[in-house]
Amino acid sequence: MTDEVLYQYPSDNVSGDYATIGVNTGTEDPDYPAAYLADGRPGRPAKLTTTSGSWVLAFGAAQRIDLVALGAHNLTAVTLEGNATNAWGGPTFSQALTIAPATADGHSVNAWLDLTTKTGYSVGGFQFWRLVVSGAVACAVGELWLGSTVRQTDRGYALGFSIEETQPTIQHLTEFLIPLVYALGSRQRRLALTFRCRAVGALALREWYRSMQGPGRTGLFVPDASVNDAWWVRQANDYTEAVPYGEARDVSMTLVEHATGVPL
């Protein structure tokens, strides 16, 4: 595990509020339109009726993108492209994301990537960004996060972190005391963590909490930058900061993953 921990304000995500989204290649599923790709609801996907295709996000001007994350999906290959014009014969920026196999319960792993170290990256950004996808079945993406900056904690965890996972079921006990259990197929994870940081690092984490308005808005969190798994999260508890000595600060948080329903 690395000490590098990444996080995003809700406002860092420019994919939904600033871009016009449309299907570029492939065929759109009319019941799951392109707007669902970045509507702040990871459980409501944008879909194609084809096993490959792409969506284009058109901004009013060049838009800087430093980090990309992919929510729930059913894909096997994903590439993010950036270009000054809406023409894709040879885009200036093109970077594939690593797509891990689905977990044992069928849920996808949320791929993410820091773009700032990749060939073709531009601080000025591009006016047009394209998400190119393919899969074994008709493509579906629950949410696309395009972050305009990369935020990192100034120190790592005090004592690591703990993860809880819930797999909800409906259970019924018969008159013969035989349990009948129906798995709903959904999943939710929780992170309990404490950062040991300096005063300036604690202030940054407090501002992150404030940007999310406590549990009111969804942010992005990468618990371990060496692991290809980004979490859409809400704050579950009040912000807590302890001062054990001098400039040291212990900031405790509980983060709840934004549930996405059954696997796509």
122 Rama sector, left if φ>0, alpha if ψ -120 to 50, beta otherwise: beta
Question: What range does the domain containing 162 cover?
Answer: 153-257
7 Rama sector, left if φ>0, alpha if ψ -120 to 50, beta otherwise: beta
Examine residue 176 and state whether it is found in any structural domain, yes or no: yes
Pairing mode of beta strands 169-173, 46-47: unpaired
pLDDT of residue 121: 96
pLDDT of residue 16: 87
pLDDT of residue 2: 59
> Under a CB-based contact definition with an 8 Å cutoff, are residues 197 and 155 in contact?
yes
116 and 93, same domain (yes or no): yes
pLDDT of residue 185: 92
144 and 175, same domain (yes or no): no
Low-confidence ranges of the chain (pLDDT < 50): none
pTM value > 0.85:
yes
121 and 28, same domain (yes or no): yes
Domain tally for the chain?
Answer: 2
For the stretch 222-247, pLDDT in tens is 999 999 999 999 999 999 999 988 88
